[in-house]
């Protein structure tokens, strides 16, 4: 029985190569008789694999589209996990873009319709950020619901959620009524999930942290096609300063006003930082690090004038770095603090 199962799996792997095999070729590859191959093909068909037969001199066997997996071999949660892993791998491991795409396509070919729909509901955009400080893992149900709404182009009703996961109640300062949005793109960037949507209340495009949204039941209401400003979802997300981000928890957190536009700083700021728009040429950046010198060092990477630096520990760290860099510039033998 074990040998029969191994042979059937090997036969399946041959048929899944998207080419047509003659009976004699399959028998030769498997080192069995043609009668045994016919019996194994019937075994695969009994497991809902659509093995097709083409008669004639150029005929043979092939595996049809939408091949079904054996029951429970891959459930919805596993399909979701594989889809997310393959679509986000290129953002964390260099050089996997083409291979991950081919693997995802190959997997979809052997999916039954139900699982293939679950996988295709998550058409993600994965962007690279050089400062990866990921947020807490996103719930799979929330991710799936958002992906389905994007894929089917349906209006979503959402409530805003605090960083701790609670929803403000009516009468509280940060309470806002449920909002109707038109979801267009699901994006992962700097370890965080974002939903790019058109907010019907604001009559404008928004980028929302997915973990800061409570999604109501699907509405089934179709949305009207809209053109994303600039047409580039990657640039739109990276240059949007009001994505709903809040600073990650670090031992040291500081702020400074930079003489740079918010959209410029938002693109290069570390994940888990917060950028506040103050005008066309100024913004406030709030960032964290393991030390005050680390915060000061990150601020220096923007190579821009700054003021309103707080707290005093960060100001002191900036002074220490100034003295150290002054000593480096002065050359060997200079006094060190």
What digits encode the pLDDT tens for the residues 145-178?
Answer: 888 888 889 999 999 888 777 888 888 888 888 9
Confidence band of 309 (pLDDT split at 50, 70, 90): very high
What pLDDT, in 10s, does the model give residues 22-61?
888 888 888 889 999 898 888 888 877 888 888 877 678 8
For residues 247 and 131, give the distance between their C-alpha atoms in angstroms, rounded to a whole number. 13
Higher per-residue pLDDT: 308 or 129: 308
pLDDT digits (tens, 9 = 90+) for 178-202: 999 999 998 887 777 889 999 998 8
104 φ, ψ to 5°?
A: -65, -40
Kindly state the average pLDDT of the residues 294-310: 94
Q: In the predicted model, is pLDDT for residue 236 greater than 80?
A: yes
Here the tokens at position 138 are 């996103």
**What is the tens place of the pLDDT at every residue in 73-116?**
455 666 667 777 776 655 544 455 666 677 777 777 766 676 67
Output the pTM of the full model: 0.58
All structural domains of the chain with their residue ranges: 2-63, 77-238, 252-330
8 Å CB contact between 197 and 206: yes
Mean pLDDT, the chain, rounded, equals 80
Q: Is the pLDDT of residue 224 over 90?
A: no
Fold (CATH) for 2-63: Arc Repressor Mutant, subunit A (1.10.10)
For residue 275, the number of C-alpha atoms closer than 13 Å in the C-beta half-sphere is: 26
Q: List the CATH code of the domain at 252-330.
A: 3.30.70.250
Structure tokens at 287: 């960032």
Query: Of 275, 316, 309, 323, whose CA–CA distance to 292 is shortest?
Result: 316
CB contact at 8 A, 87 and 49: no
Instruction: Write phi, then psi, for 254 (nearest 5 degrees).
Output: -140, 170
| Between 46 and 288, residue with greater pLDDT | 288
Enumerate the H helices of 62-184 as residue ranges. 76-92, 97-109, 113-120, 140-152
* Cβ contact 254:316 at 8 Å: no
């Amino acid at each position: 029985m074990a040998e029969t199962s191994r042979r059937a799996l090997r036969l399946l792997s041959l048929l899944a190569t998207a080419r047509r095999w003659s009976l004699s070729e399959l028998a030769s590859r498997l080192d069995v008789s043609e009668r045994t191959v016919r019996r194994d093909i019937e075994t695969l068909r009994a497991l809902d694999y659509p093995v097709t037969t083409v008669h004639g001199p150029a005929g043979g066997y092939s595996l049809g589209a939408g091949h079904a997996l054996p029951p429970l071999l891959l459930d919805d949660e596993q399909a979701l996990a594989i889809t997310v892993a393959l679509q986000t791998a290129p953002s964390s491991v260099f050089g996997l873009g083409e291979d991950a795409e081919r693997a995802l396509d190959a997997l979809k070919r052997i999916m039954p319709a139900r699982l293939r729909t679950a996988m295709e509901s998550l058409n993600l955009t994965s962007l690279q950020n050089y400062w990866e400080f990921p947020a807490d893992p996103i719930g799979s149900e929330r991710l799936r619901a958002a992906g389905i709404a994007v894929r089917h182009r349906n209006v979503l009703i959402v409530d805003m959620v605090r960083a701790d996961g609670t929803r403000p109640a009516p009468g509280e300062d940060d309470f806002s009524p449920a909002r109707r949005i038109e979801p267009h793109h699901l994006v992962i960037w700097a370890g965080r999930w974002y939903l790019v949507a058109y907010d019907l209340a604001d009559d404008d495009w928004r980028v929302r942290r997915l973990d800061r949204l409570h999604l109501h039941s699907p509405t089934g209401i179709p949305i009207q096609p809209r053109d994303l400003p600039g047409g580039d979802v990657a640039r739109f997300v990276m240059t949007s300063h009001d994505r709903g981000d809040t600073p990650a928890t670090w031992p040291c957190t500081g702020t400074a006003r930079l003489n740079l536009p918010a959209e410029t700083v938002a693109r290069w700021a570390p994940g888990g930082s917060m950028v506040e728009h103050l005008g066309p040429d100024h913004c406030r950046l709030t960032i964290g690090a393991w030390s005050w010198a680390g915060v000061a060092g990150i601020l220096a990477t923007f190579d821009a004038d700054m003021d309103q630096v707080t707290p005093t520990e960060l100001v002191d760290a900036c002074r220490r770095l100034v003295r150290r860099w002054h000593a480096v510039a002065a050359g060997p033998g200079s006094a060190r603090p």
